[in-house]
């Protein structure tokens, strides 16, 4: 169980008085975040780049001191623990290793600090698929291999709580599948699994719960299903080949209170030599049946009529649109 309460981290100096002379502006990396992460589930930690995910994870691990608020793991501040690996396993940044050591030496020293038996080193290397590279120096590892090594280090102490910051970056598709399976298995074993990502699609098949932040503020903390329901309503995609008729259909739909977004496009029909001018309408606030009836009544030929359920991805994009910092 991870509990974060009113957690705030400010970098730089606070402005005082006339601001022009007061040096660089302070930046709120994390702004009064409150959420909890439950055991037995995979919780996705989402937000655009620069939203404060990594900072939050560092504060949970006591690597940074919060400006205010608290973060606790199992009811205790992490920095109060004498040793950490049996309580929390973490992969923050796969590059946070000394490249001069072999994977085996790195993990052996890490295990020794926490009084973890040496045989665990071989076990976790086997588990992440690095047994064959155990005696190679980490400096020569690919990013994917370093991610696996970081995951191995997190598993070393068999901890009840695991944190992973963007763990699948650099993993090949097979590796991504493996990592997802691992997270699900760790959660099924009753552990607390907190996985960050800036890609919603990443979480869609892995996470039970979501914590979504943007510009350091909490946007949502709920189940994946509840989050998706908050996002875009159901929409209907209509493709026509006649721009004039399409305009008529759009007007009629809007007259009925639906919202229509027009996207002009062109595509080449298979085998055809003529390029058909196409129009794509994205309609919300009505349903496919209603659109079909209306098109029939107006005599508009349709090339496509698709009802789309909103996805987590869309909900994520919509809710974080205002808080994207770097485009």
Q: How far is the CB of 281 from another protein (least distance, A)?
A: 50
Draw the binding track, 39-58, toward another protein (x: CB under 8 A; -: no contact). -------------------x
Interface size with another protein, residues (CB under 8 A): 38
Q: Residue 150 and residue 127: Cα distance in Å, rounded?
A: 12
Q: How far is the CB of 78 from another protein (least distance, A)?
A: 6
Q: Report residue 105: phi and psi, to 5°.
A: -65, -40
Q: How far is the CB of 92 from another protein (least distance, A)?
A: 6
Given the complex with another protein, which of 78 and 227 has the nearer CB atom?
Answer: 78
Q: How far is the CB of 127 from another protein (least distance, A)?
A: 18
Q: How far is CA 26 from CA 23, 168, 322, in A?
A: 9, 32, 21
Given the complex with another protein, which of 110 and 260 has the nearer CB atom?
Answer: 110
Given the complex with another protein, which of 153 and 300 has the nearer CB atom?
Answer: 153
Residues in 63-82 that interact with another protein by CB under 8 A: 63-65, 78-82
Q: How far is the CB of 31 from another protein (least distance, A)?
A: 17
Residues in 148-167 that interact with another protein by CB under 8 A: 153
Q: Where are the alpha helices (DSSP H) in the chain?
A: 53-60, 103-113, 119-127, 143-155, 173-188, 200-204, 224-230, 243-255, 288-298, 312-320
Q: What is the residue-wise DSSP string for 201-239?
A: HHHHTT-SEEEEEETTEEEEEEEHHHHHHHSPPPEEEEE
Let me know the angle formed at the C-alpha of 176 by 122 and 41, rounded to the nearest 5 degrees: 85
**Would you give the DSSP letter of residue 141?**
-
**Would you give the DSSP letter of residue 52?**
S
User: Which one of 84, 175, 214, 224 is in contact with another protein (CB under 8 A)?
Assistant: 84
Q: How far is the CB of 324 from another protein (least distance, A)?
A: 26
Q: Centre a 10 Å sphere on the Cβ of residue 326 and count the other Cβ atoms it contains.
A: 7
Draw the binding track, 90-129, toward another protein (x: CB under 8 A; -: no contact). x-xx-xxxxxxxx--xx-xxx-xxxxx-------------
Q: How far is the CB of 115 from another protein (least distance, A)?
A: 4
Q: Centre a 10 Å sphere on the Cβ of residue 104 and count the other Cβ atoms it contains.
A: 19
Judged by CB under 8 A, the stretch of 17-25, 62-70, 218-226, 284-292 that binds another protein is: 62-70
C-beta of residue 198 within 8 angstroms of C-beta of residue 326: no
Q: Residue 155 and residue 124: Cα distance in Å, rounded?
A: 7
Residues in 271-290 that interact with another protein by CB under 8 A: none
C-beta of residue 41 within 8 angstroms of C-beta of residue 187: yes
Given the complex with another protein, which of 82 and 173 has the nearer CB atom?
Answer: 82
User: Which one of 10, 86, 262, 308 is in contact with another protein (CB under 8 A)?
Assistant: 86
Q: What is the residue-wise DSSP string for 88-133?
A: EEEES-TT-S-TTSBHHHHHHHHHHHTT--THHHHHHHHHTT-GGG
* 88 lies in the site for another protein, by CB under 8 A: yes
Q: Residue 45 and residue 227: Cα distance in Å, rounded?
A: 13
Q: How far is the CB of 251 from another protein (least distance, A)?
A: 58
Residue numbers of the site for another protein (CB under 8 A)?
58, 61-65, 78-86, 88, 90, 92-93, 95-102, 105-106, 108-110, 112-116, 153
């Amino acid at each position: 169980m991870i509990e974060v309460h009113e957690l705030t981290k400010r970098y730089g100096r606070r402005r005082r008085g006339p601001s022009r002379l007061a040096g660089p502006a302070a930046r709120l990396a994390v702004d009064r975040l409150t959420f909890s992460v439950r055991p037995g589930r995979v919780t996705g930690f989402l937000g655009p780049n620069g939203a404060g995910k990594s900072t939050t994870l560092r504060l949970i691990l006591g690597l940074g001191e919060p400006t205010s608020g608290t973060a606790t793991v199992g009811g205790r501040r992490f920095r109060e623990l004498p040793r950490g690996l049996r309580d929390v396993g973490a992969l923050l940044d796969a590059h946070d290793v000394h490249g001069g050591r072999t994977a085996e030496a790195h993990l052996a020293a890490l295990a020794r600090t926490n009084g973890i038996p040496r045989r665990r080193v071989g076990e976790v290397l086997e588990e992440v698929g690095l047994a064959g590279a155990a005696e190679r120096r980490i400096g020569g590892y690919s990013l994917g291999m370093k991610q696996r090594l970081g995951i191995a280090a997190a598993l070393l102490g068999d901890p009840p709580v695991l944190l992973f910051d963007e763990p699948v970056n650099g993993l090949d598709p097979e590796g991504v599948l493996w990592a997802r399976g691992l997270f699900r298995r760790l959660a099924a074993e009753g552990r607390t699994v907190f996985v960050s990502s800036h890609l919603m699609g990443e979480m869609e098949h892995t996470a039970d719960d979501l914590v979504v932040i943007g510009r350091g503020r909490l946007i949502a903390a709920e189940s994946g299903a509840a989050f998706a329901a908050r996002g875009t309503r159901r929409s209907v995609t209509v493709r026509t080949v006649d721009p004039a008729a399409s305009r008529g259909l759009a007007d009629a739909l809007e007259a009925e209170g639906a919202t229509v977004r027009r996207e002009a496009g062109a595509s080449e029909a298979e085998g055809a030599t003529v390029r058909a001018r196409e129009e794509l309408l994205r309609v919300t606030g009505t349903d496919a049946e209603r659109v079909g009836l209306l098109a029939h009544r107006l005599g508009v030929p349709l090339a496509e009529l698709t009802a789309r359920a909103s996805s987590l991805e869309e909900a994520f994009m919509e809710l974080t649109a205002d808080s994207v910092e770097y485009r």
